[in-house]
């Protein structure tokens, strides 16, 4: 997650307004963005070196921490947000955190698991992004600066990929739509069956397992992406200064399936906020639903001209809209190139971003500061459930289409707040990597 405060919209939801200005920053070496974006980020050189060595990035496990014996749920008040019918279904929490003894407030998507927990649905609109790239990389110097020549390459997730994918599962947007992000599969975390459901719903059911249905389990509590529709493709013509294609894998030492696109995140997000989101209002995109802009074989960077410093951003979630910025949206890549090895294949980035959207829809749910794990080399202080475990996979899921999908492990609410875990199995993350909470707060810079 990378939070930037040079552009900070004011949110209409009163609960969020007080916390927005204090949102924390992350890895000081992560690329900057002119907007306030929560991104999936890894350092290209580290990730590429790990991929070429045949392993993924190491995930730091949390250290031991003596949590209070008090039940965490007794220190949390929660309510559904009044009037949120004009927005997404939302509920608010006010938690006394065992990690720092302070109260922390925020909102999540769905209904409160602490009260009459019911099924919530988030209408979801997948928008395939067709990128017309007008520049081709011919070389990179020792510092990562790119040299390019004019050339046109089209990255179209609605077309058959006959190079990096295999029929019949070789239309990227169709493969994403059939993934466990949007279709049901059986999910069991550590012996606890969470249901035949979507991955993010299974995560949320596990997240608050011990307080749901009188402490007996999730019952009828669900947070689902439904209905899911695919809208007409968005075609963006990328200026040569804002993106390039790598058509020859040898330019980066080989070992992956080209072509790969690199585009500027600032330029892309400007397009989405200034023109695209308003244009798609005619297709029903509004604050009551979640538009997902699907990239394909594309990473984002800032600056785009330097792959060593600016890359790689796989996805992000944010919010915009005018005059009141209440439109949540997400952007993520469906990677089939394998340039970063097993780090971010197919739906892994999407699982990171959608998990964070449900738990921190506006990117400003503050928690006791934490860091030095996952993609965070420094210290940050928000409820971004994917960031602490970037690079930590769940078991692959094979769907009825025969495709083997990859998902990322996510951190539970209790890992951030501290104290005895409210989650299934008493765990602190969905695959059991974290065995305790995040420990003593780190120092925000």
Tell me how far apart the alpha carbons of residues 354 and 386 are, in angstroms, rounded to a whole number. Answer: 9
Beta strands in 239-286 (DSSP E): 243-246, 260-264
Q: What percent of the chain has pLDDT over 70?
A: 88
Tell me how far apart the alpha carbons of residues 362 and 356 are, in angstroms, rounded to a whole number. Answer: 9
Tell me how far apart the alpha carbons of residues 363 and 370 are, in angstroms, rounded to a whole number. Answer: 16
Residue-wise pLDDT tens digits, 130-161 = 999 999 999 999 999 999 999 999 999 999 99
Looking at per-residue pLDDT, the higher value among 66 and 229 belongs to 229
C-alpha to C-alpha distances, 159 to 69, 155, 156, 315, 402, nearest whole angstrom: 55, 9, 6, 21, 19
Place of tokens 């330029």: 267
Residue-wise pLDDT tens digits, 287-301 = 999 999 999 999 999
Residue-wise pLDDT tens digits, 173-221 = 999 999 999 999 999 999 999 999 999 999 999 999 999 987 888 999 9
- Joined together, the tokens standing for residue 91 give 């509920």
Tell me how far apart the alpha carbons of residues 321 and 9 are, in angstroms, rounded to a whole number. Answer: 9
Average pLDDT over residues 238-256: 97
Run of H or E residues at 237: strand 234-238
What pLDDT, on a 0 to 100 scale, did the predictor assign at position 59? 67
Phi, psi of 42 (to 5 degrees): -135, 150
Tell me how far apart the alpha carbons of residues 156 and 294 are, in angstroms, rounded to a whole number. Answer: 10
State the chain's mean pLDDT as an integer.
88
Average pLDDT over residues 309-319: 94
Task: Tell me the pTM.
Answer: 0.91
What pLDDT, on a 0 to 100 scale, did the predictor assign at position 31? 52
What pLDDT, on a 0 to 100 scale, did the predictor assign at position 19? 29
Residue-wise pLDDT tens digits, 161-170 = 999 999 999 9
- DSSP secondary structure of 377-436: EEEEEE--SSGGGTT-BPPPEE-TTS-EE--B--B-HHHHH-SS--SGGG-SBTTS---S
What pLDDT, on a 0 to 100 scale, did the predictor assign at position 32? 45
Residue-wise pLDDT tens digits, 368-409 = 999 999 999 899 999 999 999 999 999 999 999 999 999 999
- What are the domain boundaries of the chain? 14-426
Do strands 103-109 and 222-230 pair parallel, antiparallel, or not at all (unpaired)?
Answer: unpaired
What pLDDT, on a 0 to 100 scale, did the predictor assign at position 116? 84
What pLDDT, on a 0 to 100 scale, did the predictor assign at position 181? 98
What pLDDT, on a 0 to 100 scale, did the predictor assign at position 112? 95
What pLDDT, on a 0 to 100 scale, did the predictor assign at position 86? 86
Residue-wise pLDDT tens digits, 106-131 = 999 999 999 889 999 999 999 999 99
Tell me how far apart the alpha carbons of residues 81 and 107 are, in angstroms, rounded to a whole number. Answer: 8
Tell me how far apart the alpha carbons of residues 112 and 65 are, in angstroms, rounded to a whole number. Answer: 28
Tally Cβ neighbours within 10 Å of residue 215: 10
Instruction: Classify 125 as helix, strand or coil.
Output: strand
Q: Is 83 exposed, middle or buried (0-12, 13-18, 19+ CB in 10 A)?
A: exposed
**CB-facing half-sphere around the CA of 87: CA atoms within 13 A:** 26
Tell me how far apart the alpha carbons of residues 423 and 417 are, in angstroms, rounded to a whole number. Answer: 12
Which candidate, 332, 375, 378, places its Cα nearest to that of 355? 332
What pLDDT, on a 0 to 100 scale, did the predictor assign at position 61? 56
Beta strands in 247-289 (DSSP E): 260-264
What pLDDT, on a 0 to 100 scale, did the predictor assign at position 60? 61
For residue 324, pLDDT over 90 is answered with no
Which candidate, 66, 73, 95, 70, places its Cα nearest to that of 440? 66
Tell me how far apart the alpha carbons of residues 407 and 199 are, in angstroms, rounded to a whole number. Answer: 8
What pLDDT, on a 0 to 100 scale, did the predictor assign at position 153? 98
Q: What percent of the chain has pLDDT over 90?
A: 75
Q: Angle 438-442-445 (CA atoms, 0-180°, nearest 5)?
A: 140
C-alpha to C-alpha distances, 298 to 60, 154, 182, 199, 255, nearest whole angstrom: 27, 11, 21, 23, 17
Residue-wise pLDDT tens digits, 38-86 = 899 998 988 898 888 887 776 665 544 444 444 467 788 899 998 777 8
For residue 445, pLDDT over 50 is answered with yes
């Amino acid at each position: 997650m990378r939070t930037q405060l040079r552009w900070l919209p004011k949110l209409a939801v009163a609960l969020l307004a007080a916390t927005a200005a204090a949102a924390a920053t992350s890895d000081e070496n992560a690329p900057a963005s002119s907007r306030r974006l929560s991104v999936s980020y890894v350092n290209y050189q580290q990730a590429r070196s790990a991929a070429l060595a045949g392993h993924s990035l190491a995930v730091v496990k949390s250290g031991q921490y003596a949590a209070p014996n008090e039940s965490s749920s007794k220190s949390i008040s929660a309510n559904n947000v009044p009037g949120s019918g004009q927005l997404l279904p939302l509920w608010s929490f006010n938690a006394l955190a065992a990690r720092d003894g302070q109260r922390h407030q925020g909102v999540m998507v769905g209904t409160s698991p602490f009260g009459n927990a019911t099924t919530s649905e988030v209408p979801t609109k997948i928008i395939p992004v067709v990128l017309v790239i007008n520049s081709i990389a011919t070389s990179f110097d020792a510092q990562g600066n790119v040299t390019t020549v004019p050339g046109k390459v089209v990255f179209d997730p609605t077309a058959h990929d006959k190079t990096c994918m295999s029929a019949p599962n070789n239309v990227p947007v169709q493969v994403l739509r059939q993934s466990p992000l949007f279709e049901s599969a059986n999910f069991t975390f550590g012996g606890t069956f969470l249901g035949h459901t979507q991955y993010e719903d299974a995560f949320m059911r596990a997240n608050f397992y011990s307080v749901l249905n009188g402490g007996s389990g999730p019952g009828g509590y669900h947070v689902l992406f439904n209905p899911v529709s695919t809208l007409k493709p968005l075609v963006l013509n990328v200026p040569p200064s804002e993106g390039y294609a790598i058509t020859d894998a040898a330019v980066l030492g080989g070992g992956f399936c080209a072509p790969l696109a690199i585009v500027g995140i600032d330029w892309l997000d400007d397009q989405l906020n200034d023109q695209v989101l308003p244009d798609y209002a005619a297709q029903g995109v509004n604050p009551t639903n979640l538009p997902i802009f699907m990239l394909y074989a594309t990473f984002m960077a800032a600056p785009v001209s330097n792959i060593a410093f600016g890359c790689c951003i796989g996805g992000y979630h944010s919010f915009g809209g005018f005059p009141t910025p209440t439109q949540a949206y997400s952007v993520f890549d469906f990677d089939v190139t394998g340039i970063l090895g097993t780090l971010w294949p197919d739906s892994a980035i999407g699982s990171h971003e959608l998990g964070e959207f449900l738990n921190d829809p506006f990117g400003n749910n503050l928690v006791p500061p934490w860091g030095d794990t996952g993609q965070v080399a420094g210290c940050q202080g928000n409820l971004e459930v994917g960031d602490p475990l970037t690079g930590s996979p769940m078991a692959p899921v094979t769907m009825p289409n025969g495709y083997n999908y990859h998902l990322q492990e996510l951190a539970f609410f209790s890992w951030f707040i501290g104290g005895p875990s409210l989650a299934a199995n008493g765990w602190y993350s969905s695959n059991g990597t974290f065995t305790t909470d995040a420990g003593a707060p780190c120092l925000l810079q």
